Each structure stands twice: as structure tokens, then as C-alpha cells.
Structure 1
């Protein structure tokens, strides 16, 4: 039995990626606290949270696109991915790091969460049965 039977494919991807990304963020924050300092843990949590927020927003946009214009969902997914990476790069490079975080832990955790989220997206998407062409064109 599925946990969310009424969830669309994109919502299932969102739930899976959020769970995996949050797990990586928690592990990195705990590791930062044990190995380095509280600032490292805060930096890891901050980096993971940024990626999760951008991923969540992009997948919610794709989910809404699929509900209104299913034929545009893959294009929107690619555009949202490019926008997410661009915003992440801008945030991590242009916004000065607050004194309460260690920037290296922030960047490394953000990169680890991006890689994890992408791997989970691919794995989850490969198990979905989505229509490639809309019903009207068949």
C-alpha cells in the first residue's frame, strides 16, 4: 500500500528527494558538530536547507505544470533544474557568509545534497509510469 495514493509522480519525487536530502543534511550537520564545531554544523544545515528549499519549489512548479499542461512538464523540469542550480550558485558565491557558519561545510553539504537529490530523482523517475505523449496526440 502506498503512503500517498493520490500523489502525482512529481509529488512522489518531491517526497523521496526531500527525505533523502534531509537525511544527508542531518548526517553532515552531526558530522560537522562532532569533527569541527557548532559553526560547521550550522553551515551544513544551512547549505542543505537551501538546496532542499530550491528543489521543493522547483518540483512544486513542475507538479502544477503537469496538472495544467502535461505536455510541458519535462520542459519545465529542465528549466527549473537550470534555474535551481543558477540560484544556488549565486547564493553560495555572492551572498557573504554570516559569521555563525563555516562556508566550506555549507558548500560541501550543498553539493552533497544536490548530488543525492539528483540521484534520487533519477531513481524515482525511472520507476514512474508517466505518459510521454498527451492523450490527444495518440
Structure 2
């Protein structure tokens, strides 16, 4: 019998899978934890676009790159769990203040966006 329970992870656990300390590459997108390790070579824009957010929340970057509905459906196979409720709340608080991302990564995403649109045209609308 297959368990329907969702595996829960903390942001601290996700951070351990950054592709460096641990060879696995986990990312959080909208509070869902994905293991993208086996997808890196298949990603149309290259694996480095994913590894940049390995062990972190990549929601803002994922949304900014304008992924297609096909891409969103394809990533379901890489879901390994969700964030624990406490980290979901903490993650939301740090992500948006007055409608803007407040982490240092935001500035980097904003400046890289034109480059990635050229590099990864299949990910961008």
C-alpha cells in the first residue's frame, strides 16, 4: 500500500542539499520541496540556473523566469515533500515586504533576468 502522507522538511534540511556539501540538489518552490538532481542536465537553460538556488527557496526566480504550464507540470515528478508549517510561515514573511522580495538574491535575480531570457528562451513566456 502506498502512503499518502506528505514528507515534511525544514528549511535547514533543504539547505544541506545544496549540490556542494551534499551532491543532491533540492530547491523550494512555493513551499514544496523538489529534488532536481536528476533533472539538471535536462533543464533547457542549463543546470546552473537550478543549482544557483540549490538548498534555498527559488520561488521568486522561478516565477520571474516565466515557466510554462508544461514546465510546471513536469516538475511534479521531482516533488519529494513540503516545508513544515513553521517554515512555510517564516519563508512567506521573509519573501515579501510591501510587495517586494527582501533577500539579497532579489537584486541578483532582477539584474540577471534579461540574460536568462536570452539563455533560456524555452522557460520564458
Q: How does the TM-score come out when normalised to structure 1?
A: 0.30
Greater relative CO (CA pairs within 8 A, separation 6+): 1
**The structure with more radius of gyration:** 1
Higher strand share: 2
Q: How does the TM-score come out when normalised to structure 2?
A: 0.32
